[in-house]
Structure 1
Amino acid sequence: MAAKGFQDTPMVAEAVYNYSVFTKTEKWCIISMVSYAAWFSTLSSFIYFPAVHLLSEDLSVSVDKINLTITSYMAVAMIAPTLVGDAADVLGRRPVYMVTLSLYVVSNIAIASSKSYSALLGLRVLQALAISGTFSIAYGVITDVASPAERGSFVSAVSFAITIAPSIGPILGGSLSYAAGWTWIFWFLSIAAGLCLTIMVLFLPETSRRIVGNGSIRPPKHLRLPVPKLMRHWEASDQVVKQKRRMPNPLKSLTILIRKDNAVIIFGCGLLYVVYTCINASLSVLFIDIYNLNQWQAGIIYLPFGLGGMVSTFFSGPLLDTAYRKARVKRGLSTDKVVGDDLDDFPIEKARLSVIWIPLIVTTASIVAFGWTLHYHHHIAIPLSLQFVAGLCMQLDFSVYNTLLVDKNHRTPAAAQASSNIVRCTFAAITISFLQNLIDAISIGWTFTFMGGLCLVVAALFLVDYQVGTRWRQRSIDSDLRIAT
């Protein structure tokens, strides 16, 4: 078969090519499906929180023991993406989705049917193992089908799915627990995930560029859609292209951290995620104590932060794509969204990070102001408004970062996201363990001032990558090529 040109596939010489043969409508359908799957990775945590006391009473165990199911979930969620990230890069997106979503559905059904604490603890581990890596695969799919010139919009779509969960999760979990009991949290998750699995089995094509290139290469039979001609851009007579296979390597995610340009932004994102997590973890406790809210009202106060994040996803994509296009024009390069760009030679760091500075400054200011308005017990409308601003700007920061990370690691995007997950979850778990002690020791205002200081460190790390990240990345690529030859 005369292969149609595509990028990042060793069997074909690089040339002028269509980055992806999928149509714009097909791309949005694909991204919608993987965003739906990524939604569960965050929702599974936040929908669970309102049921802690009910679980404690129903299973006749202490709240501390129920909290252990949260800790164990987070610990597994930190590691799980490393297991599925590189597997999705090597074996293909479609089979990994089928396995992970199937396990997730089974685990939720089992939790809903169980009546013992030991079963809950063990099945929560299985639940985390199954679903925690879906967000990293989603970013891999984006890299498969979206050229760098249009990638920002698709990253924002996945970010929207992930961001909406912290807002509606506690409300949904509280409503289901109140109306039908805590088991219906898991019946809901099993039904929603079962629907997602069915949609993907029927409609999600294989997109891995290692297997189908830009979508024009015929995949192996087990990776084809059951519906003939649906999203099929190869001829029936085309032969499957044989390629050199390697076994998935869970440690691949750790090797990504060796590169200095990766490490500096991943550690920066880790610190930003610490701030994000600390805000979410302290919201209900602080507002209940300061403003005498009940449990239902405490769930509602998560909305402004989440709504701000959702609003940002509507303009972060166009903002990123416009900045990328301007960077290409400035250097006299093509801005065609259909044609792929050689990111190895392009200073993608400057193109992406050029739009992050103002949002980071506003993030810092809003977080510090949020802390002091709570410290001095100002009217509740003020900290809620500041929450909205912080949520909007922080989500924009994360969208820029996630787009940059997959651009830097466009050959192994899922593994790169998995490596980022390890760092940010580790940082967040450590900080959360002493957050309340920090608030008690130095007060609410100074705690959030400290969080604002972390945001300034993030800005400094991103500035380092802006200045020297391209040079570091290209040296690493040259070194890898010398080793390969």
Structure 2
Amino acid sequence: MSAKTTPDNEPASAEFADQYSVFTTPEKWCIVAMVAYATWFSGLSSFIYFPAIHDLSQALSVSIDDINLTVTSYLAVATVAPALFGDFADVLGRRPVYLITLTLYFVANLSIALSKSYSALLGLRALQALAISGTNSFVYGVIADIATPAERGSFVSGVSFSVTIGPAVGPIIGGLLTYAVGWSWIFWFLCIAGALCLLLIALFLPETCRNVVGNGSIPPPKYLRLPSRIVMCHWSKDNGVARYKWQIPNPLRSIRILLRKDNAVVMLAAGLLYLVYTCNCTSLSVLFVEIYGLKQWQISLVYLPFGIGAAVSTFFSGPMMDAAYRHARSSRGLPTNKAAGDDLDTFPIEKARLGIMWPVLSVTVLTLVAHGWVLEYRQHIAIPLCLQFILGLCLQFDFSIYNTLLTDKNHRAAAAAQAASNIVRCTLATVSVAFLQPMMEKIGSGWTFTLFGGLCLTATGLFCIDYHKGTAWRQQNYHNASSSGSPKSVVSKVTLLAEGPLVD
């Protein structure tokens, strides 16, 4: 692993030069907790809205289809928005994009809460999606900034908890608020919670972008600094504004990342899993009302087993990924350095991450098929709810591994890589939801969920391709970049020779 450098390629201070990040473990968890809080709003803002659709239709004197258009517009904007902001976060820094997007999010929710017209709701929901959907990409950039590959799995799992708990509690919060005080209080709740998140980040989130502060020991520009030097400040000395090479953010960078073969394969696989996840969550309310005759206030509780299962998975997926990574290093006679980090450019990280995924994917397929046929034959409600718990546990485990792998593959541009992945998954989800209800009416829930199981099998095949070919493809991209003149440290080239073959 090469010595850490400042953004303008000058050596960092000797005290911190051999550390991947100068932040302590408690500080890293505080940083991840703050950005995970911001990420929570991405899923919450969509799912908290569903219980209010009928009330909004009546309050604004429009049809249900018109209100559903605000859902579609939200998803459409959420598909492309992260690509616009992802490279900004990788180039200009994490603090600016968080402060800007959370401010826009606060304004959007405040305006919706005060609005009384359908046209305002339609436009402001698009603004809400533009503001908050990118946080799901920024968070992985922050993790790549501060966490070495050996500890990255645990931090990604921690973030996954906030990502999955939003869809789980969103319908419950939305249903209770709509029932008790009216639909506008959904957006007052988001406005207040968003303002608190904005305040926490403004006061306590340090700049972590390695393009700006290196491993955290380089003073950032004054406008990126925290109000107090007491909070998480590890500068060896204050040399004024950090000297680094500015780049113009390029939103198309996400497209270039998407077109890399090793990225495209896993992004498509994860997109298929996300399609299944979205269709499963979308179908729950319709199926359980139709089959079990649940009342409106009971429907929100149906989402709890899936959410609880997803939350439970985050407690053991991280330690399992970290253990698998250490085993993959030691089995190749390589050390694991949690302080300085390991060189992933020459290490088959695909095998280290995906090796523990196969049993969980198998259970995912079986659970989906079983869930569909249990509903088809109208078995006791406890059976599909238990299957939802297992499905939530397995799908979230799959997503945690994938998100960690994608961050490892693109650790220099993690936010842009997640934005590219968002394009794939949101596009697939948006299209599939449009055909979900007609498909269930035509072939029934049993064959519909059997089809979803088949899509998960396809995703398994794509992950298998990356397991065997991904490292070679990634290394080919490295060689192509080197031959075209892209900078690469001599140390990494020496390490490439020293570590031997990339694949078994």
TM-score, length-scaled by structure 1:
0.97
Query: Aligned pair 1:410/2:411, yes or no?
Result: yes
Query: Aligned pair 1:53/2:54, yes or no?
Result: yes
Find the counterpart in structure 2 of residue 11 from structure 1: 9
Q: Structure 2: how far apart are the matches of 1:93 and 1:300?
A: 36
SS in 2 for 1:61: coil
Q: Structure 2: how far apart are the matches of 1:242 and 1:323?
A: 39
Q: Structure 1: how far apart are the matches of 2:239 and 2:326?
A: 36
Find the counterpart in structure 1 of residue 120 from structure 2: 119
Q: Deviations over 1:261-306 (max 9, x none)?
A: 0000000000011110110010010011011111111111111111
Find the counterpart in structure 2 of residue 160 from structure 1: 161
- Offset of residue 9 of structure 1: 5.1
Query: Unpaired runs of 5+ in structure 2?
Result: 487-504
The residue type paired with residue 51 of structure 2 is: P
Structure 2 matches for 1:296-335, cutoff 5 A?
296-335=297-336
Find the counterpart in structure 2 of residue 28 from structure 1: 29
Find the counterpart in structure 2 of residue 257 from structure 1: 258
Structure 2 matches for 1:65-464, cutoff 5 A?
65-464=66-465
Q: Structure 1: how far apart are the matches of 2:211 and 2:44?
A: 31
- Offset of residue 239 of structure 1: 4.5
The residue type paired with residue 220 of structure 1 is: P
Q: Compute the RMSD of aligned alpha carbons.
A: 1.5
The residue type paired with residue 281 of structure 1 is: T
Percent of paired sites with the same residue: 62
> Does the 8 Å CA contact 1:5/1:12 hold for their aligned counterparts?
no
SS in 2 for 1:270: helix
Q: Structure 2: how far apart are the matches of 1:6 and 1:372?
A: 55
- Offset of residue 336 of structure 1: 2.4
Q: Structure 1: how far apart are the matches of 2:8 and 2:242?
A: 11
The residue type paired with residue 153 of structure 2 is: G
- Offset of residue 432 of structure 1: 1.0
The residue type paired with residue 163 of structure 1 is: T
Q: Structure 2: how far apart are the matches of 1:230 and 1:360?
A: 42
- Offset of residue 5 of structure 1: 4.3
- Offset of residue 401 of structure 1: 0.1
> Does the 8 Å CA contact 2:7/2:243 hold for their aligned counterparts?
no
The residue type paired with residue 356 of structure 1 is: M
- Offset of residue 151 of structure 1: 0.2
Q: 1:8 to 1:385 in 2, by over 3 A?
A: farther
> Does the 8 Å CA contact 1:50/1:174 hold for their aligned counterparts?
yes
> Does the 8 Å CA contact 1:305/1:387 hold for their aligned counterparts?
yes
Q: Structure 2: how far apart are the matches of 1:332 and 1:222?
A: 45
SS in 2 for 1:149: helix
Q: Structure 2: how far apart are the matches of 1:342 and 1:385?
A: 42
> Does the 8 Å CA contact 2:7/2:244 hold for their aligned counterparts?
no
- Offset of residue 236 of structure 1: 3.7
SS in 2 for 1:34: helix
Q: 1:88 to 1:304 in 2, by over 3 A?
A: same
Q: Structure 2: how far apart are the matches of 1:321 and 1:220?
A: 34
> Does the 8 Å CA contact 2:221/2:240 hold for their aligned counterparts?
no
- Offset of residue 12 of structure 1: 4.8
The residue type paired with residue 11 of structure 1 is: N
Q: Structure 2: how far apart are the matches of 1:344 and 1:235?
A: 29
TM-score, length-scaled by structure 2:
0.94
> Does the 8 Å CA contact 1:8/1:411 hold for their aligned counterparts?
no
SS in 1 for 2:259: coil
Q: Deviations over 1:226-277 (max 9, x none)?
A: 0123111113443544222211111111111111000000000000111101
> Which has the higher mean CA deviation after the structures are superposed, 114-123 or 431-440?
431-440
Q: Structure 1: how far apart are the matches of 2:110 and 2:39?
A: 19
The residue type paired with residue 6 of structure 1 is: K
Q: Structure 2: how far apart are the matches of 1:5 and 1:348?
A: 21
> Does the 8 Å CA contact 1:205/1:224 hold for their aligned counterparts?
yes
> Does the 8 Å CA contact 1:217/1:240 hold for their aligned counterparts?
no
SS in 1 for 2:149: coil
Q: 1:9 to 1:244 in 2, by over 3 A?
A: closer
Q: Structure 2: how far apart are the matches of 1:235 and 1:10?
A: 17
Q: Structure 2: how far apart are the matches of 1:205 and 1:68?
A: 39
- Offset of residue 107 of structure 1: 0.7
- Offset of residue 7 of structure 1: 6.7
